[in-house]
Amino acid sequence: MAFIPKCMSTQHPDNAFVPTYATDGVIKGDGEITEAVEVFALGCDEQMWDSEGKEADNQVVQKLLSAHSDFFKSQHHLGKDSALTLRVPNPAIETEMRKSTVEALQGIPKAWDMASEFYGNDTEPPIQEVILPFTTSAQELALLDVYYQKFVVGQENQELLDLMTVKDWIGEFFPKRIRIIPLIEDLEHLTGSDLIVSDYLEDLSKRGVQVDYQRVFLARSDPALNYGAVSAEMMIKIALSKLSKLQERLGLPIYPIIGAGSVPFRGHLSPLNVNRAFREYPSAQTLTVQSAFKFDHPQTVVKSGIQQILSYERTEAPEIDELKAQGIIKKIAARYNQQVRDLIDVIGEVSTKIPKRRERKLHVGLFGYGRTLAGAEDVTLPRAIGFAASMYSIGAPPELLGLDVLNSEDLSFIRSVYPSFDEDMASSISFMNEDQVIELLGEETAKIAYELGNGVDRIHQGLTTAIWAGVKNKSRVNITDYIEEAAQLRRFLG
């Protein structure tokens, strides 16, 4: 790839407001094609195309180039200054969707053919990289890479009839290889991300594949869902520090991608506070621009935020005392786990009322479909966005979960490695409902909220009072309208 993207638009459904091309509030089908064009026009230099957990349009390149030919010929050259990056299911984990991985990979050479017809001699592969979620080993990455080389590109040499090969029949296959981006999502593998990357690069070298850089995607949402928001921040810091050291040791650029949403629970990246991401993740090359970032603010503000991301030049990751951080992570995670178990029925009830923003299947996460967290094998949660939206809707910001076990020494360390801690907490607490925090999370958590907060949005509080009353009383009143109104005040769904 001629450039390393800095601003990745994603299809995470965390938006409170909906664009005009949504159908009944849901972005789907050709609406996602329109979205891709709009975000490139806003300045994003990468669009994630997600076939994990949803039906993805594998004709995306053909539709983009045919319906918006002037745009992609004169302003945004796919593969040269605008990247389209696939996210596919992990066959080792998401077994019910694993054939979708094959389908997505088989579509890459067809995308090349479409681009070649469009750009002629100036063609670059429109799809060059593939994101593998739930990565836990270098072998998972190698399997994807080898499958593409042997069974997608490699099929061109298969003989058909009378010495005619597949290539003779339907043409040569391009690109000859793709880059695989690990998306790492759990405690063990985030804190060991350098080992996964190192092992994968060693495997590539043994197979004679030379690379000049490696991108690594660090999840921010699922770690928060499974271990708590503060734990997730420290896990990311450990990963970034280790990847920075690996880069120095190998002499090979390692480019981290941070998957942050607008809500503090999921990374607190909105067009209003882009500098927060630079402060927390100085070594990150790429930040995700999710749906709330794109749709819940005026377009001028969105464009300004994107330009800030594009103009940032990364620096080294700060070091972190991993032993100390791991101790606090485990302390928070244990308490978080306990509190979530106590709230599971409430969360389940409220989550059914959260408005849909994308057509998606149930996420395969650590709390469900056989993916477990110690002590929570029987607990199934909604996706991170639905979870956060549910908690905010009842006036109990999820950032507060797990904090009541921390002492002053713990908080001092957290502030030293997580500079935006107080800012993030004050932001989330502004949407709490004091009475409901006491009722649902306890007096000690409410006390912490008072200490860290800086005022409460009373209109939002009134809406959460109505929502909670509807849930408790099993009212027939449609609380989804209240949930949506509260989300629009916050400028994020969850």
Q: Residues 368-372: what's their mean pLDDT?
A: 37
pLDDT of the residue at 137: 98
The residue-averaged pLDDT of 178-206 equals 98
Strands 179-184 and 214-219: parallel
Q: Which residues partner with 254 through β-bridges?
A: 214
**The pLDDT of residue 372 is above 60:** no
Under the banding of pLDDT at 50, 70 and 90, the label for residue 475 is confident
Dihedral angle of Cα 410, 387, 240, 321, to the nearest 10 degrees: 10
Q: 140: which residues sit within 8 A by CB, 6+ positions away? A: 90, 92, 132, 182
pLDDT of residue 2: 66
pLDDT level of residue 309 (50, 70, 90 thresholds): very high
The residues, ordered by sequence, that sit 6+ positions from 151 with a Cβ below 8 Å of its Cβ are none
| C-alpha dihedral, 59 to 64 to 66 to 71, nearest 10° | -170
Residue range 458-487: average pLDDT? 94
Task: Write down the pLDDT at residue 57.
Answer: 76
Instruction: List, for residues 85-106, the tens digit of each pLDDT value.
Output: 999 999 999 888 888 999 999 9
Which residues are paired to 159 by β-bridges?
Answer: 165
d(CA 99, CA 357): 25
**Cα–Cα dist 98/469, whole Å:** 42
Give me the pLDDT at residue 95, please. Answer: 84
- pLDDT at position 202, please? 98
Distances (CA, A) of 122 to 1, 116, 384: 14, 8, 41
The DSSP code for 316 is: P
Query: How close are the terminal C-alpha atoms of the chain, in Å?
Result: 34
The pLDDT, as a whole number, for residue 251 is: 98
**pLDDT value at position 369?**
36
Q: Which residue has the higher pLDDT, 478 or 311?
A: 311
Residue bearing the bigger pLDDT, 3 or 1: 3
What's the distance, CA 24 to chain centroid? 24
306 φ, ψ (degrees, to nearest 5) = -65, -40
Q: What integer is the mean pLDDT of 119-147?
A: 96
Q: How confident is the model at residue 75 (pLDDT cuts 50, 70, 90)?
A: confident
Query: So what's the pLDDT on residue 478?
Result: 86
pLDDT of residue 364: 44
**Residue 1 pLDDT exceeds 60:** no
Summarize the confidence of residues 478-492 as an average pLDDT: 97
pLDDT band at 452 (very low <50, low <70, confident <90, very high): very high
Q: At what angle do helices 384-393 and 458-472 cross, to 10 degrees?
A: 100
200-214, 287-301, 348-362, 449-463: lowest mean pLDDT where?
Answer: 348-362
Q: CA 250 → CA 16, 24, 194, 197, 257, distances in Å? A: 43, 50, 11, 11, 19
Q: What is the pLDDT of residue 53?
A: 57
Torsion angles phi and psi, residue 355, rounded to 5 = -65, 140
Residue 154, pLDDT above cutoff 60: yes
Integer Cα distance of 86 and 47 in angstroms: 9
Averaged over 10-33, what is the pLDDT?
92
Whether 394 and 350 have beta carbons less than 8 Å apart is answered as yes
Q: What percentage of the chain reaches a pLDDT higher than 90?
A: 86
**Among the listed ranges 239-253, 311-325, 367-381, 384-398, which one has the minimum average pLDDT value?**
367-381
CATH level 3 topology of 7-311? TIM Barrel (3.20.20)
- pLDDT of 324-366, one tens digit each? 999 999 999 999 999 999 999 999 999 999 999 987 654 444 4
Give the pLDDT of residue 446.
97
Mean pLDDT of the chain: 93
CA distance 70 to 77: 10
Coil, helix or strand at residue 345: helix
- Please tell me the predicted confidence (pLDDT) of residue 366: 41
| Exposure class string for 24-48: b at 16+ Cβ within 10 A, else e | eebbbeebbbbbbbbbbebbbbbbb
Select the highest-mean-pLDDT range: 49-63, 367-381, 471-485. 471-485
Domain positions in the chain are 7-311, 322-490
pLDDT band with cut points at 50, 70 and 90 for residue 55: low
pLDDT at 58: 78
Tell me which residue of 10, 75, 15 sits closest to 47, measured CA to CA: 10
Query: Could you give the count of Cα atoms lying within 13 Å of 453 in the half-sphere of its Cβ?
Result: 20
Strand partners, 133: none
Question: Which tokens is 312 given?
Answer: 């940032």
DSSP code for 468? H
| Of residues 7, 44, 2, the one with CA closest to residue 285 | 7
